[in-house]
Structure 1
């Protein structure tokens, strides 16, 4: 084994250990979640609010500067993706933003990222971790659970993504290859080669609740 190959494996294992450390830091994640709940609950007194972590830190593929993705369920865990921003979503974005700005000892508000699924960006003061806060699309949590399941089926997938994240960072092309694209590419690669089930096999015996729904005669409804 030559020096270049040794360096490859050393770097990959080092990055994996770092990602595992972030994934397993449950206490830190819970502290951030608790601070966010304490910040938001007074602003939604009639709602039962829950905060769910997801994304690269939870999946065990994060880098040293990775954000912590958080989904805020404002008493509506069934909120699904919509192409149109509703008045309710716009109002919730304003309330969450103001709540963060009212708590400068815990949060440094950074930005509102607009789009079909708005994201509020803030830095948790105590941990100095940037948090991307979503609140209008619960599908993102389900997607993380699916990726975790895929990693359990084929553990090499996570190592492949960790390697690719380092590769795109080294080439400075992160903007073109965001993490979710790398996940899709790796899953597709492994599916084509028969190391992961197909989408059809994943959906076997399941009734989809998003997108076109098939009837019993296999026609789209």
Structure 2
């Protein structure tokens, strides 16, 4: 049987391409070969530098204090006033509001703080120790301000110039771009690019708030039932691709390898038991966390929950690989390394995420956790962009990043712009022969597709026998190619308007213009 994919365009020209003879069938030999290619996750200098920076943020988070304001008094308090009340120096106050909650993240000069006896009730703390002048609150990472504390007349706040940031809800963040409005206010493509990439910038508060959450969770999880463990973050928020509404991906890992460490093959029941224990502990003992969902039958079981005082959804898993560090942390370190090599890397990834989301090509944020999504996720799209950048010699293959050799990656294109890369990426995707070639970001190359019946095969860089795009169906992939083709045609025009590729009716307009591109499988039309 001859396999062929036919591209139909407006004038109904057909182009048939025969299948290469060296396509490998999916077999035990392939699995054995791919397993041998799996990298050994041994920390090297680049990875250790990334982890050192992450640990520094975690240590700083031990000095963060969360204040929930029940009486709208935070605007009247500055760092000097809080220093009086907490009996320690306050370095900075980050203020925000979310769902009618006024909050502040306070950076203290020390890990410990003290509450004066006369204001403990104002902060919602236990008032049973009346005989003491102060109450040491080492480890208490949050307080509730119930009434405005009385301040000394000679030290009254003279005004606070800090901006109180308004955080949007998760639902509002999922809204689509109003392209008609953008056409009116954005005069140039560069102006629109800056708005889309930096309009929802991941700022200092977003990062510090996530590390505060990590510090608080470690206090309750790692200091009780899971001693000698720590919580490590990974994903977009840590890699440098985060937005204020990005999820916080966390993994509980042992500080050192031990013989009784969990394994995927040996003790899945123990793993789910531990996740249930953590979920019960957080749900009933720790404030500000809600909407718990236990996804225990997935390939990698997780618990999902939300932070009530900011638009942050949290995914927590337990490391069960034989490695001391979670593979997601390695991926985050690699992505962060790529972003630091060239500023266009981050801009291109974020721009394409907005583009894919606008055309409903990405998994929605409110998608049910119990239903497998049959389209692209943000990570899968990011991996495809990384492969494109590897072929452009802008970022190195992942294996080179993971290696312990002293070979330095030489950047070949320093002066390229984000818009140039965007146009090249769209054409690059259309040139891929996904029916016959599988993609490897581990080596920055392709190899014969082990499962040609799947629309796209992208190698998991840590378990190389797995296809990390296996969930994508032909219908979803065809739509992705159609939108890519239409967007590419727009960018080929001499004076194109960038906002046109974000028109959510782009797909429907192609029908009216008679130029819709469709990709269909015509396997049954050909017989040997």
Tell me the TM-score range normalised by the shorter chain.
0.7 to 0.9
Please, which of 207, 210, 214 is the counterpart of residue 26 of structure 1? 207
Deviation at 1:202, TM superposition (A): 3.8
Matched, 1:165 2:353: yes
Q: 1:18 to 1:84 in 2, by over 3 A?
A: farther
SS in 1 for 2:222: helix
Q: 1:204 to 1:120 in 2, by over 3 A?
A: closer
1:123-150 Cα shifts (integer Å, max 9, x gaps): 1223342111122251111110111111
Q: Is the 8 A contact 2:249 2:316 kept in 1?
A: yes
Show the counterpart of 1:120: 303
Q: Is the 8 A contact 1:118 1:136 kept in 2?
A: no
Q: How does 1:47-196 map to 2 (within 5 A)?
A: 47-75=227-255, 82=264, 86-103=268-285, 105-114=287-296, 115-136=298-319, 138-175=326-363, 176-196=375-395
Deviation at 1:88, TM superposition (A): 3.0
Deviation at 1:205, TM superposition (A): 4.6
Q: 1:84 to 1:39 in 2, by over 3 A?
A: same
SS in 2 for 1:102: helix
Distance in 2 (alpha carbons) for counterparts of 1:81 and 1:178: 27
Distance in 2 (alpha carbons) for counterparts of 1:60 and 1:81: 30
SS in 2 for 1:121: strand
Which TM-score applies when normalising by structure 1?
Answer: 0.76
Q: Which runs of 5+ in 1 are unaligned?
A: 213-221
Q: Is the 8 A contact 2:249 2:314 kept in 1?
A: yes
Show the counterpart of 2:457: none
1:121-180 Cα shifts (integer Å, max 9, x gaps): 111223342111122251111110111111122331211110111011111121222121
| Larger fraction in helix | 1
1:24-81 Cα shifts (integer Å, max 9, x gaps): 6332122211221233235415x22322222112223234432111222244579798
Q: 1:197 to 1:81 in 2, by over 3 A?
A: farther
Q: Which runs of 5+ in 2 are unaligned?
A: 1-182, 321-325, 364-374, 406-461, 465-528
Distance in 1 (alpha carbons) for counterparts of 2:270 and 2:387: 36
Q: Is the 8 A contact 1:51 1:70 kept in 2?
A: yes
Q: Is the 8 A contact 1:151 1:157 kept in 2?
A: yes
Distance in 2 (alpha carbons) for counterparts of 1:31 and 1:204: 32
Distance in 2 (alpha carbons) for counterparts of 1:38 and 1:110: 19
Q: 1:60 to 1:202 in 2, by over 3 A?
A: closer
Largest Rg, 1 or 2: 2
Which TM-score applies when normalising by structure 2?
Answer: 0.35
Q: 1:201 to 1:129 in 2, by over 3 A?
A: closer
Q: CA RMSD in A?
A: 3.2
